Structure 1
Amino acid sequence: MDVLRTFVSGVELGSFARAAERVGRSPSAVSLQLRKLEDQVGQTLFTKKGRGLALTEAGEILIGYARRILDLNDEARTALRGLSALEGWVRIGIPQDFAETWLPDLLARFQRAHPKTRVEARVDRGAHLVEAVHAGTLDLALTWGRLGNERAEVLQERQVVWIGPESYAYDKAEPFPLVAFDEPCMFRRAAIAALEREKIAWRHVFASPSLSGLWAAVSAGLGVTVRTLEGKPPQLSVIDAREAGLPELGRIELAMHGAGGKADPQVGELTALIREAVAFR
């Protein structure tokens, strides 16, 4: 399972160096895992593509099975841990990045493993989710950044990157075209702070309340946005900051906010499952 998790993480992140960091192993240990996996399946899983790696036909076949095997493994462990028949409600807030990627599947597996527990998920901006946790209308929430809540648990740090259309070239004669949410937004703040630190003129060319709206604007060539790699559409590319003459953006915390005090068993179980899932993504 560990080898399959490393394999899936590397493919989803687009880099086994990033996967090594994510799974808490050295790059050499990850390379050894991948060689072991190729020996076990008796097929070459990767081929060179430019400076990176691409899946072979065998790799494409295996990645689908690997995801299903890991999902079933995680669901089985959740079900076995939940033999006490958890009951009640879990109300969770999630950012749009996760609502459109892996978290709905995780919530569905949790629901199947604990059919007497009802899951209510709310997708919203981080600041609104933290307010809802404090107000008692959510049991827990995931946000980018701790958002002023020093009691929030930092699950992970992710690299923040510039994302634009493929082969995007920044015209330095014009203000930098930024696509971002309106305030409050941690990514917008990081981008503006970095641009102003380097004295790069910028303009906010497109704002949207939805992440899909931002992706659509960038895909249409209106400008560049700032996010993590989570949920990046395949038609968009990470812009090499050094080559483009743009500042590095650093990292952002992925935080979990709880209501405080002793959590109900079903809330504690879902919290543990999310911690485990994030550790391998």
Structure 2
Amino acid sequence: MLQTIDHELLRTFVAIVDHGGFTRAAEAVNRTQSAVSMQIKRLEEDVIRRPLFERDGRQIRLTSEGNTLLGYARRILDLHGEALNVLRQPDMVGRVRIGVPDDYVMRFLPGILKSFSQVWPLIDVEVHCEPSSQLLSRQDGSLDLSIVTREVGHEIGEILRQDATVWVVAESHSLHQQSPLPLALFEEPCFCRRHACNALARAGRQYRVAYSSPSLATLQAVVSAGLAVSAWMKSLVVPGMRILDESDGFPPLPDASIVLLRAPQAHSPIVDGLARYITEGFRQ
């Protein structure tokens, strides 16, 4: 028979990681320290059959097997809690408010919302499409969750993924050879716009910002029409465009991070469920 893992063992294991030791974890799971130690011993010796922690005096750290188990443990516990909530309250109703730039709406949101609605069919989802700069200024509780783009090294919240920033042009046009180079860029303030302009200036390349918009769809339409060159995240490049690199005379651009922000008071089974689907959707 396929061996299963008692979710209480996983709960204790995660508590030790989150609380930094056995003593605080014992308080968190309402058990004695010796009971917690016995649970981990059972998990290591009888279930996983690998050490999960390296012990150095009072200090502990995860082994490679422990790190692997941690990701699975969190997902199993999240699903366990979600299943109980759904089954105990099958007609749960409510509302969740999410802010997201239109950059990610067509690329990521359909699959995320479809998965979420299958589990929470009666929940109303408010989607507010605004640039990252505006969403960052709305962390006052008016939104439960926000997906924003940040510079690498300046992230706040949960990092969903990191992606390369690339130059793009319509496949059937050689517009990138023009001087001054016509650009289609996001409106200020936008670090991608700043990096693109600075990179061209350092390379001694003349340019002009011919089109400016807060909407990725607008920039994509301009580029597809062969009117300008633009720069955005690689995962957002669509068919009919090609990426320009140093062989085309375009300097490399810094990577960007997509992060998930949660309002301080936004903690409920509904918000937690949508946050989990967002995390999975962006990391797939």
What is the TM-score normalised by the length of structure 2? 0.64
Determine the C-alpha separation between the residues in 2 that align with 1:224 and 1:149: 27
Q: Which contiguous aligned blocks of 4+ residues in structure 1 show a shift greater than 6 angstroms?
A: 76-79, 146-149
3-state secondary structure, aligned to 2:247: helix
Q: What secondary structure is seen at the aligned counterpart in 1 of 2:107?
A: coil
Query: For residue 263 of structure 2, what is the aligned residue in structure 1?
Result: 259
- Give the Cα–Cα distance (whole angstroms) in 1 for the partners of residues 171 and 280 of structure 2: 33
Q: 1 CA distance for matches of 2:269 and 2:83?
A: 15
Larger CA deviation: 199-208 vs 170-179? 170-179
Deviation, 1:262, is 6.1
> 5+ unaligned residues in a row in structure 1: which ranges?
1-75
Q: SS in structure 2 opposite 1:101?
A: helix
Query: TM-score, normalised to structure 1's length?
Result: 0.64
Match of 1:119 among 112, 121, 125: 125
- After alignment, is 79-88 or 269-278 more displaced? 79-88
1:276 shift after superposition:
1.4
Question: Does the 8 A contact of 1:78 with 1:113 survive in 2?
Answer: no
Alignment-derived partner of residue 208 in structure 1? 213
Offset at residue 222 of structure 1 (A): 1.3
- Which of 166, 180, 190 is matched with 2:195 structurally? 190
* Amino acid of the structure 2 residue aligned with 1:113: V
1:249 pairs with 2:249: no
Q: Cα distance, 1:135 vs. partner?
A: 2.2
In structure 2, the residue corresponding to 1:230 is in which secondary structure? helix
- In structure 1, distance between residues paired with 2:157 and 2:211: 31
Q: 1:151 to 1:207 in 2, by over 3 A?
A: closer
d(CA) in 2 for partners of 1:259, 1:148: 21
CA-atom RMSD in angstroms: 2.7
Give the C-alpha shift of residue 130 in structure 1: 1.9
**Greater CA radius of gyration, 1 or 2?**
2
Q: For 2:152 and 2:163, how far apart are their aligned partners in 1?
A: 16
Percent of aligned positions that are identical: 32
Determine if the alignment matches structure 1 residue 96 to structure 2 residue 107.
no
**Residue 147 of structure 1: CA displacement?**
10
Q: Report the Cα distance in structure 2 between the residues aligned to 1:139 and 1:149, rounded to whole angstroms.
A: 21
Structure 2 stretches lacking a partner, 5+ long: 1-78
Q: CA deviation at 1:88?
A: 2.3
Alpha-carbon deviation of 1:186? 2.6
